[in-house]
């Protein structure tokens, strides 16, 4: 089946620093990738839609200048959390869309971000 | 208000018991998906239901899509400790991204 990887799997950083998270589709090309955030004991919430070669589309309430998304190739999207603060600590999960008769999204294993 | 309401929020049962998880909405969907997520991992797709009234089986898991395509249920027969996890229903609201339900956290005790 289709595989999506994320790197790093976990990261701890100091408040005010920036952190980059990578999302790769390993065996298929994805023109569209998605970034979700999941707080403890909660469900996944969509942050933004990442489109290859164009600007990302952000959900209401998600600051585009804080969460920078780049989708430079058909297999790689990156999320950079700029000037991270403790409230940004969360589980960040990406997914890549495999187009077909019924579109299917394949999820990465997630990245646990802890901001001290 | 959440688009997809799941119930119960939390369920703790003994191994061998049966259980049903519900996913309800007031909206109509062309399809609905069920995922299972284990701690520290991304969600894994279990099934996609498309037709109103459709029933799909995956080993001990039975999924049903409501006749009106507004709700769905997941029934697990003879639960095992390996079934422990967060069960999420999800729909595509037309923007290709998924909207997830509130989730049901299942714990199966040995």
pLDDT, one tens digit per residue, over B27-63 is 999 999 999 999 999 999 999 999 999 999 999 999 9
Give the separation between CA B110 and CA B99, rounded to whole angstroms: 33
Residue B43 at interface with chain A, using a CB cutoff of 8 Å: yes
Residue with tokens 């999420």: B88
| Structural contact between residues A67 and A81, judged by C-beta atoms closer than 8 angstroms | yes
Judged by a CB distance cut-off of 8 A, whether residue A49 touches chain B is yes
Pick A51 or B55 by higher pLDDT.
B55
For A100, residues 6+ apart whose C-beta sits below 8 A from its C-beta are none
Q: Find out whether A5 and A109 touch, Cβ atoms under 8 Å.
A: yes
Average pLDDT over residues A11-34: 94
Using a CB-CB cut-off of 8 Å, the residues of chain B touching A96 are none
Is pLDDT at B86 greater than 90 in this prediction? Answer: yes
- Give me the phi and psi of B20, to 5 degrees please: -135, 135
pLDDT of residue A101 exceeding 70, the answer is: no
Contacts A–B by Cβ distance under 8 A: 52
**Is A103 at the interface with chain B, CB within 8 A?**
yes
Task: Round to whole Å and give the CA distance between B78 and B83.
Answer: 10
- Between the CA of residue A56 and those of A37, A44, A116, what are the distances in Å? 16, 19, 28
- Helix/strand/coil percent split, chain B, to 5: 5, 55, 45
B88–A43 CB contact, under 8 Å = yes
- Rounded Cα distance, B56 and B65, in Å: 9
Which DSSP helix (H) or strand (E) runs through A105?
strand A104-107
Q: Return the closest-CA partner of residue A23 out of A50, A63, A62, A42.
A: A50
């Amino acid at each position: 089946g289709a595989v999506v990887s994320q790197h790093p799997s976990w990261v701890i950083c100091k408040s005010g620093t920036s952190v980059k998270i990578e999302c790769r589709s390993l065996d298929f090309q994805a023109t569209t990738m998605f970034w979700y955030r999941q707080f403890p004991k909660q469900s996944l919430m969509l942050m933004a839609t990442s489109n290859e070669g164009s600007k990302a589309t952000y959900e209401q309430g998600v600051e585009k200048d804080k969460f920078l998304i780049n989708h430079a190739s058909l297999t790689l999207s990156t999320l950079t959390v700029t000037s991270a603060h403790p409230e940004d600590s969360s589980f960040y999960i990406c997914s890549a869309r495999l187009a077909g008769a019924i579109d299917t999204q394949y999820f990465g294993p997630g990245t646990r971000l802890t901001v001290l | 208000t959440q688009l997809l309401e799941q119930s119960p929020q939390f369920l703790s049962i003994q191994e061998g018991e049966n259980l049903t998880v519900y996913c309800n909405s007031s909206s109509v969907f062309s399809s609905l998906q069920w995922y299972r997520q284990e701690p520290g991992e991304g969600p894994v797709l279990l099934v996609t239901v498309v037709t109103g009234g459709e029933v799909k089986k995956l080993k001990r898991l039975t999924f049903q899509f409501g006749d009106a395509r507004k709700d769905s249920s997941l029934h697990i027969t003879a639960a095992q400790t390996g079934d422990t996890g967060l069960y999420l229903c999800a729909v595509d609201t037309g923007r290709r991204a998924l909207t997830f339900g509130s989730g049901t956290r299942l714990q199966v005790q040995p």
